[in-house]
Structure 1
């Protein structure tokens, strides 16, 4: 198994970088979009609330694989052609945003209403109160669920192999097909995913401890 690992190491290195890139970019873009959707869900405007509800319902209610295939194979039929990496990032971003929006919304709504009243009594408007008082507390409350979503997103990047993105899972499949040693290759890749997610779990635990009690 060590011999196979060393043989596949050059491909695994580039595939690992691709997996990290897909995860990082999709999480960043998904967080921005998710926060906007979360604000829409708690908006006083029915149209925004309705749009946000439909978005979350659609993207949480359908499989990521179907969404990725629709982006890669479906969009070209209406004149929008994306390369494999862009397609994967688009699908992962839209999918993760639907879950992250609910994580952020739950964190914001969990902030004590007295915080709103205190901010308003000091003459702060809605958005100033949100920016300075509510959102920082809400994001701290959301750390566990947001961390779990990032870990899930790292694993979700394996589906990018279906649209020919050369990430960890696709390398395992390619090397397995060339050597007929699928078991060893997929075990190797599984360990790599596990190591990445253990590091993220440690980071999540650190952040929870770092901010525990600061706002709560």
Structure 2
């Protein structure tokens, strides 16, 4: 068994950096496209709603691991050479956009219809109605579920190792193979995931309870 010193720990932290960056890119990119998906899902056009529903069904109904494979190897079949970093960033953005789009669709529809009727009575056009009246309330409603999905996204980044991307879990596996100390190494990796995810989960739960109390 080999020792786990500063170099090994720094390598694990290097993997943590990529885990954090991948989660941030996936969440922000997914958020941007997720808003568009949510608005399409509540549009007046049946064709647009059906297209958005099919998109959500595709990404919610297939494993994230398969989506990573399809983006990484499928794009290569088209003659386009993409790096592992770009492939996983695209896959996580698409994955996140489907889930966030559905979360925010439900939140938009949870806003009391009286708010839309009042905005219409004031003569607000669609963009102003959504930006100033509906979306701010929907965002507040969606916060607990959005935070919960962010936690799942952070943990899901461990699947990126399947296409050769070295994130936190993959870095731990490499160190484990070098030192033959799997329990200690993955104990450290698990503790890092816990330190990141537990406060977010706790915050989401506390926020949900606060909102439920305020609604009474």
TM-score by length of 2: 0.91
* Preserved contact between residue 145 and residue 204 of structure 2 (Cα < 8 Å): no
- Corresponding residue number in structure 2 for 1:77: 77
Deviation at 1:73, TM superposition (A): 1.4
- Corresponding residue number in structure 2 for 1:194: 194
> Structure 2 CA distance, aligned partners of 1:31 and 1:104?
10
* Preserved contact between residue 137 and residue 215 of structure 1 (Cα < 8 Å): no
Q: What 5-or-longer segments of structure 2 have no aligned partner?
A: none
1:64-213 matches, within 5 Å, as: 64-204=64-204
Deviation at 1:211, TM superposition (A): 7.8
Q: What 5-or-longer segments of structure 1 have no aligned partner?
A: none
- Corresponding residue number in structure 1 for 2:13: 13
- Size of the aligned set, in residue pairs, is 215
Indicate the SS of the match to 1:176: helix
> Structure 2 CA distance, aligned partners of 1:213 and 1:121?
31
Higher relative CO (Cα under 8 Å, sequence separation at least 6) belongs to 2
| Segments ≥4 residues shifted beyond 4 Å | 205-216
Residues 8-47 of structure 1, C-alpha deviation per residue, up to 9 Å, x if partnerless? Answer: 2110121111110000011000011111011111111122
- Corresponding residue number in structure 2 for 1:25: 25
